[in-house]
Amino acid sequence: MAGDADPEVTRLREQLTGVDERILEAVNARIGLVAELKRVKEAKGIDFRDPGREEWLLAHLAELNRGPLSSEGLRALWTELLALTKREV
């Protein structure tokens, strides 16, 4: 890989790998929780999809976001994450 000999590049890549590993762990945890929620909702006859909750979540995360992720980027990321989660469960 380009830049392998540069210690600064190596350090930053190692940090990025750590962040990527935590993201993967968090996404897997989210999918597991959503699967459990889906089972509970189905057992109680509650619709799985809740557009109001999804909009609340996006608004809540937008309030917490301090960047550098833009508002548009946040919406795109979470829209895809929600869609991915639904496909996985």
pLDDT tens across the length of the chain (89 residues) = 676 789 999 999 999 999 999 999 999 999 999 999 999 999 999 999 999 999 999 999 999 999 999 999 999 999 999 999 999 99
CATH superfamily of 7-88: Chorismate mutase (1.20.59.10)
Q: Is residue 27 packed enough to be buried (19+ CB in 10 Å), middle (13-18) or exposed (0-12)?
A: middle
Q: Residue 40 is inside which H or E element, if any?
A: helix 7-44
Q: What pLDDT sits at residue 5?
A: 85
Q: What pLDDT sits at residue 24?
A: 98
Domain map (residue ranges) of the chain: 7-88
Please report, for residues 9, 10, 16, 83, the alpha-carbon distance to residue 4 in angstroms, rounded to integers and kept in the order given.
7, 6, 14, 36
- How far, rounded to the nearest angstrom, does the alpha carbon of residue 82 sit from its chain's CA centroid? 8
